[in-house]
Amino acid sequence: MPRWRSIRGTCRRGATFWSSICWRPGSRAAIGGKLPRFAGRIAEIDAAEGFLAQARVAAFHNPNGETEALLLKAAAVQPPSYRARIALAQFYLDASLLDSSRGNANSAEAQAKQAVQLSPGRIEAYAVLAQVYARRGAWNELESTLADAVHEVPDDMVPYCRAAERLIAGGHDPERAEHYLRIYLGQAPEGNEPTAADAQRLIGRIHRSFSEL
């Protein structure tokens, strides 16, 4: 590999690292007013990560401001960025939980599908799709997505947990939700995902809802 490509790859990994730092609550408090400068430095290395960092700065200072526009810019960068698609999908998914219309959910679905096309071996897009379909009650699409996730990423069952969370939050199909949580508990969760104790608490919540009927 030519040396310049190796250097560029290293710089991009650094940009990804600093972009993620900008979103950590403790780090945001610590570097405070330096956040915009960090975002600008990141943009010099990787445009998509730069827009993502700027979006995180915007969300920190004004959650209802220009976050969406910056995420759209990140998603439009070429070559396309998986992380940008996921960030935009998650933005729309979070918005859909506050909005009964299907516009944001449809946008989350579209962005997550594009992320799957970019990198089918990564789990985040399947987790977003699982939440969209669980909330919608689209069982065929949900089961198909979960099957695809297991096929592509067999060591990470987090889409099952995320789907169960949506089902429980909406009061839908508690038996299905518990089944999904049992599948999730069949493997050790990844470090940044819900713990086994979290999943057990959700199962307890299901059982309590049954006892109250």
In contact, 53 and 18? CB cutoff 8 Å: yes
Distance CA 165, CA 181 (A): 9
Q: What length does the chain have?
A: 213
Low-confidence ranges of the chain (pLDDT < 50): 1-12, 14-19, 21, 23, 25-32
Predicted pLDDT at 98: 80
Q: State the pLDDT at residue 101.
A: 65
Q: Is the distance from CB of 49 to CB of 12 less than 8 angstroms?
A: yes
Can you spell out the DSSP letters for 130-173?
HHHHHHHT-HHHHHHHHHHHHHH-TT--HHHHHHHHHHHHHT--
Contact 44, 36 (CB under 8 A): no
Q: What is the pLDDT of residue 191?
A: 86
**Residue boundaries of the structural domains of the chain:** 9-79
pLDDT for 85 equals: 97
Cβ atoms within 10 Å, residue 20: 15
